[in-house]
Amino acid sequence: MKKFIALFLSAMLIACVLPFSMPVIAETDERDGEIAIHEVYIEGLCAPVAGETPEHSCTLYVEDNPEYVLVYQYWHDDTLGTDMFVEQEPFDPTHLYSQGCMIAPNEGYYLAEDCVYHFNGDAALVGSVTQSYFPDCYFVQSVPMVCAGSSEYAPGDIDMNGEVNVVDALLALRCSMGLIEFSGEQLALADVNESGACDVADALLILRFSMGLIEGFSLR
């Protein structure tokens, strides 16, 4: 009987203490009745074209959805460290540029702190995400890009020796792994799929082209 009473009292004690001793789990999916946005997809990112102006190069958009909208977009001259406007000079083939936009949540939603942003479905193409001057809005900016078609060399000819070969593919692979750095012109030559960066996909395309397996490079 005493053992039964002891077990009963122990169970009651645990039942009373447990609710106060368990950690409080924070609500991560709602805030003041709003729903958190954890993924944002921005489409249309492409390299600037030498000679064109930002006015004719605003290509970013988001698919229609109830969660967020693209408010406006802009170009940034990373070489000069200044934002560009439609009345400014055309893109300089010797400069690096990044494209950005402001993302705002629709009514009933908010952009979570752990939100992951993508350009063309790739989070690696996002260079920075910063708080806007409007509540709950963020500036999303791409990685720096070189101008398309700004080199006298053929796409894929990274070492600029007049031909595209396995060495170029190896250089692209090493750059994509962060083992070496390219000049602005080399980056433009390596980015054969026009994704805005040199990645493993570029290295594979260059390798296949050098082996005669494909006749050209697939563009995004």
Residue owning tokens 């460290």: 81
Q: What is the pLDDT of residues 52-100, one digit of tens each?
A: 888 777 889 999 889 999 999 999 999 889 988 756 678 887 888 999 9
pLDDT of residue 107: 93
**Average pLDDT of every residue of the chain:** 82
CA distance 136 to 156: 42
pLDDT-based confidence at residue 49 (cuts at 50, 70, 90): confident
pLDDT of residue 149: 65
Residue 187 domain boundaries: 166-210
Residues 61 and 137 in one domain: yes
Report how many domains make up the chain.
Answer: 2
pLDDT-based confidence at residue 23 (cuts at 50, 70, 90): very low
Residues 74 and 135 in one domain: yes
pLDDT of residue 11: 46
Residues 43 and 123 in one domain: yes
Domain assignment of residue 1, yes or no:
no
Q: Which of 4, 183, 17, 5 is nearest to 93 (CA)?
A: 183
Task: Indicate the helix (H) or strand (E) that contains 111.
Answer: strand 109-119
Residues 137 and 172 in one domain: no
Residues 138 and 176 in one domain: no
Domain assignment of residue 8, yes or no:
no
Return the ∠ at Cα 103 (arms to 200 and 132), rounded to 5°: 110
pLDDT of residue 130: 95
Residues 112 and 61 in one domain: yes
Q: What is the pLDDT of residues 127-160, one digit of tens each?
A: 999 999 888 999 999 998 888 766 678 889 999 8
SS (H, E, C) 31-77: ECCEEEEEEEEEECCCCCECCCCHHHCCCCECCCCCCEEEEEEEEEE
Q: Which of 104, 126, 142 is the last residue of a domain?
A: 142
Residues 36 and 117 in one domain: yes
Residues 132 and 202 in one domain: no
Domain assignment of residue 66, yes or no:
yes
**Amino acid (1-letter code) at residue 68:** Y
pLDDT of residue 28: 46
Residue owning tokens 């996909």: 201
